[in-house]
Structure 1
C-alpha cells in the first residue's frame, strides 16, 4: 500500500509540473501495485490523462474499467461520453451523457456537453433544454448563456438570443465573443448603431478576431460608406494578414469604389492564401467587370491550369 500511495503522490507531483510522460509512468506503476487495479480514483486519473494525451482508445478502456468496478459511478459514463465527443461521435456521446445524468440528475457538466453534442447533430430543441438545465443548476454559467444565445440566433429567435447574450455579459462584461455575438443579433434587429458599438467594444477586448472587422465593415458598406468599410477591414488585415477572406472583401469594396488596381491586388492576395476563392470570384456578380481585365483573367486562368496539372 505504501508503494501504491508513493507512486500516486509522485504521479500527481509530475502532473502538477506538467511533466505528462513521467506522471503517466508513475500512475501506471501505481496501477501495477497490489490493489491498484481496484483503485477507482487512480483509474480515473489514468483515464483522464490518456484523454488529455489524445490516446482515446486507452482512455476508453480505463473508463470501462471504472464502470465495471462501479456501475453507479457517473464519472465513468461521463468520461466515455467525452471520448466519443472528442471523436465527433456525438450520438454515441449523448447516450453516455444520459447514463451519467440518470445516476446524478444534477450533473451540470454532463448537461452542458450533452447540449453541445445535441447541437452538433442538429437537435437544437434538445440542446436548448440541456442548456436551460445547466442554467437552472448554475445561473452564472457564462458559456451556457452564450451558447444558448447562439442557438437562438441561428434559429432567428433574435429577442431570445439577445436576452441570453446580455445575461452572459452580466457575468463576463468584457468578453469579446459575447460582444461580437451581441453585435450580430443587434444588426439582425436593425439596431445598427448599437451593433456598431458592440463590434467596436469587441475589438477593444480582442483586436485579433478577424470576423469582427468583417462584420463591422459590411455595416459601413451597406451604409454606402465604402471608405470607412475599407479603413475598418484594413485594420483587420494589419492584425490578421493570413486571413484570405479579409482581402477578398476589401477587394470587393475597392471594386465598388472604382479602385480596380487595388481590387485586383487584394483578390490576387486572397487567391494566393486560399486558391478556392477563385470559384467565388468567378460567380460574384459584383466582380464581373474584373473578369474582363486581361491581366487579372490571365492570372486566374494560370492558377486554374496549374491546379489541373497537379
Structure 2
C-alpha cells in the first residue's frame, strides 16, 4: 500500500470520528490520487459516495457509484445507485433494476431485499413486498425492524391480527422499539381494544415523542367520551410540540366538548396562525364550525 494513500486514510478516518465530514471528504479525495490498486480505488470511492449521501448530495454519490462500476461489477455500487436514485426521485423501474442487480451479484444482500421490499410496498405490490421482507428474515431472523415493517404491510391490507403478530415479534426482539409500540397502539385500537392501545401508545412515548401519538390517544379518549383525559394528553403533547397545528386543533375540539368556548377559540386561533388551512377544516367540523363565526 502506498504510504501516502495510507496516511490520507488515517487522516480521513480521524475527521470522520470528529464528524468533520467535509474535511474527511477532502482527505478521501486525496487518498484516491495515491491509490495504486483497484481495491484501494474502490474502497476510497465507496467512502466518498457514503459521505456524499451523508452530505445530502445523492447526485454526487451516483457519479461515484458509477465510477466504482467502471472498475468492478460490485453489488454495493448497484445498491448505492438505487438508494441515491430514490433520494433523487428517479424512475422506479430503474431503482428496482439496480436493487435486483445487487441481489443477483450477492444473493445474501439483506439491505437490498429490505429496501426493494419498500419500493414494492410503495407501489402497492404487496405480494412482492411480503416475499422480499420474508427473504430478509430468512437471512436475518433477529431483524426487529423488518418484522415491524412486515406488520405494517399487513396493517395496510387491514389484516390487523396478522399485523399484530409481526409487531409483537418485533417487540420480542426489541421491547423498546418505539415504532412497533406505536403500531401496536394502532392495531389494538382497530381490533376494538382501546385501553390496550393507550397502554402501547404510552410506552412508545417513553421512547420517542411524536405528535401523532398524542393525537391518536386523544381520538381514543374522545371515542370513550373521556374529554378531560383528551385535554390532558393534548396539553402534554404541546409541551413537546408547541407548533403542531393538529394538537392545537384537537385541543380546541376538547374544549368545545368541555363547554369552554373561550379556550376552544384560543386554541383554534393558534392552529390557524400555524396553518391558515385550519380555518377551512374548522368550517366543516361539527365541533368547531360555530367557533369559526367568531373569528
Superposition TM-score tier, normalisation by shorter sequence: over 0.9
Instruction: Please tell me whether residue 289 in structure 1 is matched to residue 287 in structure 2.
Output: no
Residue of structure 2 equivalent to 1:11:
12
Q: Tell me, which stretches of 5 or more residues in structure 2 are unaligned?
A: none
**How many Å separate the matches in 2 of 1:70 and 1:101?**
16
Cα offset for 1:189? 0.4
Residue of structure 2 equivalent to 1:49:
51
2:29–2:44 contact (8 Å) kept in structure 1:
no
Cα offset for 1:141? 0.6
1:244–1:269 contact (8 Å) kept in structure 2:
yes
Q: Tell me, which stretches of 5 or more residues in structure 1 are unaligned?
A: 300-310
Using a 3 Å threshold, how does the CA distance of structure 1 residues 264 and 233 change in structure 2: closer, same or farther? same
Instruction: Please tell me whether residue 264 in structure 1 is matched to residue 262 in structure 2.
Output: no
**How many Å separate the matches in 2 of 1:43 and 1:36?**
12
**How many Å separate the matches in 2 of 1:37 and 1:61?**
17
Residue of structure 1 equivalent to 2:201:
199
Q: 2:165 aligns with which of 163, 166, 191?
A: 163
**How many Å separate the matches in 1 of 2:121 and 2:112?**
14
Q: CA RMSD for the aligned pairs? A: 1.8
2:167–2:180 contact (8 Å) kept in structure 1:
yes
Specify the SS of the correspondent of 1:286: coil
Structure 1, residues 172-219: CA drift from partner, whole Å, max 9, x if none? Answer: 11222211110110000002221122122223333x322222111211
Q: Which runs of 4+ in 1 moved over 3 A?
A: none
TM-score normalised by the chain length of structure 1:
0.88
Specify the SS of the correspondent of 2:288: helix
1:78–1:96 contact (8 Å) kept in structure 2:
yes
Residue of structure 1 equivalent to 2:111:
109
Alignment of 1:266-281 (within 5 A): 266-281=267-282
Q: How many residues align?
A: 292
**How many Å separate the matches in 2 of 1:246 and 1:109?**
36
Cα offset for 1:158? 0.3
Instruction: Please tell me whether residue 223 in structure 1 is matched to residue 261 in structure 2.
Output: no
Residue of structure 2 equivalent to 1:303:
none
**How many Å separate the matches in 1 of 2:46 and 2:55?**
14
